[in-house]
Amino acid sequence: MFSFQCEWVGALEGQERSGLELGHMTFSGPGGACTTRGESRRAMMMGPSLAALLGAVEGLLTTRQGGGHFTAVASSFEVFFQRVRHGALELRGQGHVVGPVDAAELHAALVSGLEEFLPRGGQELAEDAGRGDLLHVLPRFQRLELAGRRSRR
């Protein structure tokens, strides 16, 4: 099973978070995990990084591209996607293969992880530069139709 999780660096009680605040991403699959967690130098600006990730994956899922990659904003973290067979994608990061993942499963994992991380679809973020691109790309990504199936939203 493939999963995606995000978390903020440090606790913040009672204040709005900025989309420019630092956080971590974790991709988990049959081959293990690819994460920035536990490595403070790899923490990324979450709003712009999530927008870049969704844009990269959307391009891969909606075209015939053979592969693609995502580079986090203000971090050295990178994830590579490569088509391998029958709609499956190989996800690589930190020097190893996280695993093959079906396009629909990747989409569902990203949507689920983002709904857990940002339950109000990014509206909970402060109105700043880190929020705008994410609010633009997130609803479009959630509505993607893959293999004749529509996402939950």
Structure tokens at 64: 């015939």
The amino acid present at 46, given as its one-letter code, is: M
Query: What is the arithmetic mean of pLDDT over 127-151?
Result: 83
**pLDDT above 70 for 131:** yes
Question: Which residue has better confidence, 57 or 12?
Answer: 57
Task: Write down the pLDDT at residue 75.
Answer: 93
Mean pLDDT rounded to a whole number for the chain: 90
Of 34, 138, 146, the closest CA to residue 81 belongs to 34
d(C-alpha 29, C-alpha 41), whole Å? 23
- This prediction's pTM: 0.92
With a pLDDT cut of 90, the percent of the chain lying above it is: 76
Cβ neighbours around 76 below 10 Å, total:
11
Task: Write down the pLDDT at residue 150.
Answer: 45
d(C-alpha 49, C-alpha 27), whole Å? 14
Structure tokens at 135: 């609010």
15 band by pLDDT with thresholds 50, 70 and 90: confident
Task: Write down the pLDDT at residue 82.
Answer: 95
**pLDDT above 80 for 78:** yes
With a pLDDT cut of 70, the percent of the chain lying above it is: 94
153 within 8 A of 141, measured Cβ to Cβ: no
46 within 8 A of 19, measured Cβ to Cβ: yes
d(C-alpha 63, C-alpha 43), whole Å? 30
Q: Which tens digits make up the pLDDT trace of 94-129? A: 988 999 999 999 999 999 999 999 999 999 999 998
Of 92, 75, 74, the closest CA to residue 83 belongs to 92
Structure tokens at 17: 């978070």
